[in-house]
Amino acid sequence: MKPGLEKMIAGEMYHQTPELLEVRFKTRDLLYEYKS
């Protein structure tokens, strides 16, 4: 079974944990800054 981060990167379903949510939001913010 793949860990949650590997599933998230692969675009598969995963259980959201506080750590994965933090990674997801940080990635979103970095992409927003990059596109600005």
Residue among 30, 29, 17, 31 nearest 7 (CA): 17
HEC assignment per residue over 5-32: HHHHHHCCCCCCCHHHHHHHHHHHHHHH
What pTM does this model have?
Answer: 0.65
Question: Is residue 25 within 8 Å of 12, Cβ to Cβ?
Answer: no
Give the max Cα distance, the chain.
37
Going residue by residue through the chain (36 aa), what tens digit of pLDDT does each one get? 578 888 888 888 888 889 889 988 999 999 999 998
